[in-house]
Chains A and B, each alone.
Chain A
Amino acid sequence: EVQLLESGGGLVQPGGSLRLSCAASGFSFSAYDMNWVRQAPGKGLEWVSGTGGGIFYADSVKGRFTISRDNSKNTLYLQMNSLRVEDTAVYYCTRVRDGGRCFEYWGQGTRVTVSS
């Protein structure tokens, strides 16, 4: 069974940093593109960053967030620096479906609140 378990969320002041982790199990982690998707309170879904034929970021986080993975630990990370109030959201770790054009598996999400 595929499982994705995020951790690392919390309350941080504007300008601060957080590192999110996503522990994956039940599949060959190194063989799949992995992504982060977020959802601000009461809002829709927003793709944040992904690994797939390279590393890519949404314009809204470029230069502030860094995605990485440790295939030996089956873990995906998101280092978030210079956090802004508008980064407040639930952050989901996702695994793409074979073929890579959609998100087949989602974690339960970890909540990030940026507030003074």
Chain B
Amino acid sequence: EIVLTQSPATLSLSPGERATLSCRASQSVSSYLAWYQQKPGQAPRLLIYDASNRATGIPARFSGSGSGTDFTLIISSLEPEDFAVYYCQQRSNWPSITFGQGTRLEIK
């Protein structure tokens, strides 16, 4: 099973600041990595697929990069609605699908 490790566990920033979230895979997942945002009481929302492609309706301040084992989600300038939990997910070796443990982005 491919293990995804996200860092940091918690990130404390202020609106307007830049957020950098990391996801590291225990073995290569090529570019088959996605990012999700989850707010309290809501279902997750797909942000980024195939490492760097924004999903429909996702603002341009969200960007993803990486390949192989190291991936990054960047939020260029935080809006109040961006404070949430973020998960990465891989489906490189279907049928095994795994998620990272999440990064909580909180208001400083």
Contacts and interface: CB of A to CB of B under 8 A. Distances in A.
Interface in B33-71: 34, 36, 38, 43-46, 49-50, 55
Given A47-B98, A101-B49, A106 B43 contact: yes
A33 B84 CA distance: 28
A97 interface: yes
B34 A45 contact: no
Contacts of B32: 101
- The A contact surface, by secondary structure, is loop
Contacts of B50: 99, 101-102
Contacts of A103: 34, 36, 44, 46, 89
Nearest to B6: A44
Interface stretch (A10-18, A48-56, A71-79): A48-56
Interface in A87-102: 92, 97, 99-102
Nearest to A33: B94
A46 B38 CA distance: 14
A44 B87 contact: yes
B95 A50 contact: yes
A96 to B, nearest CB: 9
A97 B45 CA distance: 12
Interface stretch (B14-22, B74-82, B99-107): B99-107
Instruction: Determine the interface band of chain A, counting residues with CB < 8 A from chain B.
Output: 20 to 34
A108 B45 CA distance: 11
Contacts of A44: 87, 99-102
B46 A102 contact: yes
Contacts of A53: 94
Nearest to B91: A101
A104 B100 CA distance: 17
Interface of A: 35, 44-47, 50, 52-54, 56, 92, 97, 99-104, 106-109
Interface of B: 32, 34, 36, 38, 43-46, 49-50, 55, 87, 89, 91, 94-95, 97-102
Closest 4 CB pairs of A and B: A56-B95, A102-B34, A106-B43, A47-B97
20 contacts: A44-B100, A44-B101, A45-B36, A45-B38, A45-B102, A47-B97, A47-B98, A52-B94, A52-B95, A54-B95, A97-B49, A100-B94, A101-B32, A101-B34, A102-B91, A103-B44, A104-B55, A106-B43, A106-B45, A107-B43
